[in-house]
Amino acid sequence: MDKRDTILRLRNARLEIGGTTLFSGLSMEARAGEIVLLAGRSGVGKSSLMHVISGYYPNEDAAVDCEQLEVAGHDLRGKSLLERTRYVRSVFQNARLSFAMATPYEEMLFCLENFCAPVHQMEERVMEQARACRIQPLLHREFALLSGGELQKIAFACASLVEAPLYLLDEPFANIDEESIPYFIERIKRWARKGKAVCVIDHRLDFWDWVDRWYLLDERGTLQIIGVPLSAADTESLKENGLVGDLPPKSAKPDWRYPQREVLRLQNVSIFVSPGEPLVREINVRLHEGEMAALIGASGAGKTSFFRALLKQCPFRGSIELLGRPLGKVKKKELYARVGLVFQDPSLQFMAVRVSEEIRISFPHLPEAARQEWMGRFHFDAVQDVSPWLISQGQQRRLAFLTMACGDKKILLVDEPTYGQDFQHACLIMTLLQGLCRRGLACIFASHDRRFVNQFAHQVMRIRDGRMEVLCHA
């Protein structure tokens, strides 16, 4: 396709969900061979705009009106979600929601079947993309046993199986380790070199300073073009929308002159996700009151499995002591009262049908005025009557974190705390976590974001080649 051709033409798009208008009058373009970034504050409607293009909207709850929506000259307005997949390939923010089968191998075959690929070519095409996306060892493992980063790599492979003029990528690296990101950026560049148009949603602007154009979706529901390199005015717009800024002060080191109570000790621990070979072996870690520890490692290294073992949800061998007691002797009720977990997929831990009710359940003794203050601080004012399952991924992450920050917990395990967050909200979460630790909480947070690891962690633990090592300790 000629690189002068416009692949995506969107004119005067309007989206209304549950009677509330998210945006109206939005227009954007992407030409053949272009890579464009769509940025904006968490929860502002970026994923919703991509859903308008892909066909996920309209549905029973969402009304869409577009003056023009064309991809490669084809009018998509009357086409269903399934029909649009021939023109638009998508990688969802939460990759787990995009799979229908039990294993990656079955999913990739299913994708090809849906596009009526010749049966004799299917095996070869699956293996070709598995090699290209480096997922061969994952092909026959169940999705339920895979990490968020592994799922995102598989989503890339599925999107690459069948070509389309337009690719929509919603936070494609949110759960992928930073060492793997350059490889997948090169995959995206290859799509562009083949004349495809690529639209990326991301809060990590530093990954995309080389692309053709940025769009900023602001809180008023308007879309503006941001030039690259940035002008002073554009930098100020990004700052006003929470996308750039200065990191908070570095976490102060605990004063080890005064003994801190040890809350967690692991000695010669090995963790298993299947019988036989351990996923991680010989773990020796200590955690004290007031300490913030970062857990890092490649996608699939075993970070989430480590958290599950601490909650007796994953088999292990060796000694784990919680507050001086063997973990095996701690009853589940007491364990969950003392140890909190913010899931990698926060939607799995909600109980209420409204955001405000979820907060009310978590803070039953807090005055209503104080609960409203928390909702305002975390930008839940506009969605307090909305279901937790219908808000954005970034909002779900903040809500899950807030509900776990209550009670008399001694340890908080947070799986990817800044996932789905703009810079301002990421700093808010990490600063609140820092404040909790200053009051005696101990925390382990798993993260791929080196900025926050370097700024907040007193102790950095890395899983590599099946072993955990402590890189630094305050």
Name the β-bridge partners of 412: 340, 443
pTM: 0.90
Beta strands in 32-172 (DSSP E): 35-39, 62-65, 68-71, 74-75, 88-91, 166-170
Nearest residue to 242 (alpha-carbon basis) of 37, 40, 401, 451: 40
SS3 40: coil
Mention every residue, 6+ apart, whose C-beta is less than 8 A from residue 69.
9, 10, 11, 13, 52, 53, 75, 76, 77
Chain centroid to CA 363? 26
CA angle 209, 154, 101 (to 5 degrees): 145
SS3 412: strand
How high is the pLDDT of residue 50? 94
How high is the pLDDT of residue 259? 63
Name the β-bridge partners of 16: 21, 63
Do residues 54 and 90 touch, judged by C-beta distance below 8 A?
yes
Q: What is the DSSP letter of 19?
A: T
> Cα(289)–Cα(300) distance, rounded to whole angstroms?
28
SS3 277: coil
Backbone angles phi, psi at 392, to 5 degrees: -70, 165
How high is the pLDDT of residue 254? 65
How high is the pLDDT of residue 260? 81
How high is the pLDDT of residue 276? 82
How high is the pLDDT of residue 17? 87
Mean pLDDT by 10 residues, the chain (474 residues): 81 91 94 97 93 94 95 95 94 88 96 94 96 94 90 94 96 89 94 96 95 94 90 94 92 65 96 90 94 94 94 95 95 93 87 92 87 89 89 90 83 93 94 92 95 94 94 66
How high is the pLDDT of residue 434? 93
